[in-house]
Amino acid sequence: CAAALLEKLHGLGLVNSRQSLAVCESISAAAFCRRRLPCLLVKLRMAQNLRHAVTFVEQGHVRVGPEVVTDPALLVPRAVEDFITWVDASRLRQKVLDYNQERDDFDLAA
């Protein structure tokens, strides 16, 4: 049971090592809050602050994997953290691509 608990906590990103149950004592509510989607958007520099990140999520500008997420309370596991992106039809994505001069000519026609 201890190994399963440590594996689950490590998969959620709440602990860094799977060595002993002693690390489970140090888990706080702040650790859960840091794994929420808006906090990760700020960490990935997709938003300037938490208020903007919550707004982006609620308006449907962010997807995790193939699914559009509108719930800012979503806990993002480690395995899915790399798949946080903008929605293809998002105006924010278009602005970022324009700024980086990476926008495709096909997107301009649409």
| pLDDT at 100 > cutoff 60 | yes
What are the tokens at 9? Answer: 């906590």
pLDDT at 30: 92
Classified as helix, coil or strand, 95 is helix
Where do the structural domains in the chain lie, given as residue ranges?
1-31, 36-109
The SS3 of residue 81 is helix
pLDDT at 108: 59
**Which tens digit of pLDDT belongs to each residue from 32-46?**
999 999 999 999 999
**Rg over CA atoms, the chain:** 17
pLDDT, tens digit, for every residue of 45-95? 999 999 999 999 999 999 999 999 999 999 999 999 999 999 988 888 888
Determine how many CB atoms are found less than 10 A away from the CB of residue 39: 18
Alpha helix stretches (DSSP H) within 27-73: 29-34, 37-43, 50-58
- For the entire predicted model, the pTM comes to 0.82
